[in-house]
Amino acid sequence: MKSGNVMRKAVWEQVHARLFQGKALLLFGPRQTGKTTLMTEVLREFGDDVLYLSGDEADVRQLLGGATSTRLRTIIGPKRIVFIDEAQRVENIGIALKLITDQIGHVQVIATGSSSFELASSVNEPLTGRKYEIQLYPLSFGELVAHHGLLDERRLLEHRLVYGSYPEIVTSPGREAELLRLLSESYLYKDLLGLEGINKPALLEKIVKAVALQVGSEVSYAEIGRLVSAESRTVEKYIDLLEKAYVLFKLPSFSGNVRNEIRKGRKIYFIDNGIRNAVINNFNMPGQRTDIGALWENYLISERMKTLAIGRASRESFFWRTTQQQEVDYIETAGDALFAWEFKWNSKSRCRIPKTFSNAYPHGAGGIVTPGNFDEFLLSP
């Protein structure tokens, strides 16, 4: 692996281990997270055995859309690997991937996509049982620790809370705000604005900003609808698409034994803190902010999501709240095991897991996460 992508070692190893296993390999993730760079470096060792195709090119879309297995054999020729970048732009790409996987068995096909709603929906049925999926997010705390060391990353905590960890942001000190504004303006909605259902880009941006200002709070589609003058079902549709375009993700409520638990609530977080701050145009450091609690919560939950994705851990994530406003910030379940954590930026403030929760779920583990111990929470498997 070349030095330019050393921070993605764990994902690089996952990709490499799945080559030539008789299945298509799909790499999903937000734009600008290095999917193309990663795959180029993984495939470098195969030299001329790789056929590189880009779904951004019109002739490639025409060539692959509706191609038969005979036509695909002609296109591929003697190559051992077919790499299709931005594959979501190719019509019926799932059929082409299936034909290559089934009919041209010696060829490994790899596809990347920055909009899972298009690529996943077109490949799920044709490739049932014939694919590996890997998610690539902005750089994780664990990846950065492996590259910079734990001490340096702990020292950079406030910086990460404000600017996040997209690869270009991490490697461009001094230009973070400029690049994040460019990223949010040029790429954030690129995959969404081409859809027929998204015909009001101004409304989309209003919804994103409204969500950004409610990070850490339970989200009501009806309330956001009132704020942006839209119907709640329109808000729900736009948020669903923003999740599938890797801008946001939802955290559902946990319920089990407590009578007054909220059972159908949701919180919404940003994949990356820097994007969230670009949306509200606030790059002040934590000491100058009134929303540090929301920043801290978004950072910890998004980073934990990356840790679980990289480790391919089989866990489910939730928050917990009762109608009396008792709350646990974050919960994970793994089979019968349950873990509960509260997040506090000010380690001197009093905090504990609510007794109602502890009494109802006495087998639960977890604790309080502060700047003093956050690395233990983020790095634990």
Q: Provide the pLDDT confidence category of residue 115 given band limits of 50, 70 and 90.
A: low
Look at residue 4 in the predicted model and tell me its pLDDT.
43
Query: Does position 2 have pLDDT exceeding 50, yes or no?
Result: no
What's the average model confidence in pLDDT over 192-216?
82
Q: Provide the pLDDT confidence category of residue 223 given band limits of 50, 70 and 90.
A: very high
Look at residue 137 in the predicted model and tell me its pLDDT.
94
Mean pLDDT value across the chain = 89
**Domains contained in the chain, CATH given:** 3-135 (3.40.50.300), 141-379 (no CATH)
Cβ-in-10-Å burial (0-12, 13-18, 19+) of 243 comes to: middle
| CA-based nearest residue to 170, from 203, 148, 150, 192 | 148
Q: What interhelical angle do 221-228 and 232-244 show, nearest 10?
A: 100
- Rounded to an integer, what distance in angstroms lies between the CA atom of residue 13 and that of residue 3? 15
Query: Does position 93 have pLDDT exceeding 60, yes or no?
Result: yes
Specify the amino acid at residue 284: N
Q: Measuring CA to CA, how many Å separate 296 from each of 10, 85, 306? A: 25, 34, 16
Look at residue 1 in the predicted model and tell me its pLDDT.
47
Listed range (67-71, 98-102, 182-186) with the worst mean pLDDT: 182-186
What's the average model confidence in pLDDT over 274-287?
96
- Global pTM? 0.91
What's the average model confidence in pLDDT over 163-176?
96
**Collapsing DSSP states into helix, strand and coil, what is residue 85?**
strand
| pLDDT, tens digit (0-9, with 9 covering 90-100), for 245-276 | 889 999 999 988 777 888 888 999 999 999 99
What's the average model confidence in pLDDT over 273-302?
96
Burial 202-220, CB ≥16 within 10 A → b, else e: ebbbbbbbbbbebbbebbe
Joined together, the tokens standing for residue 223 give 């309330």
Q: Provide the pLDDT confidence category of residue 375 given band limits of 50, 70 and 90.
A: very high
Angle formed at CA 94 by CA 18 and CA 53, multiple of 5 degrees: 70
Report the 3 state secondary structure along 51-64: EEEECCCHHHHHHH
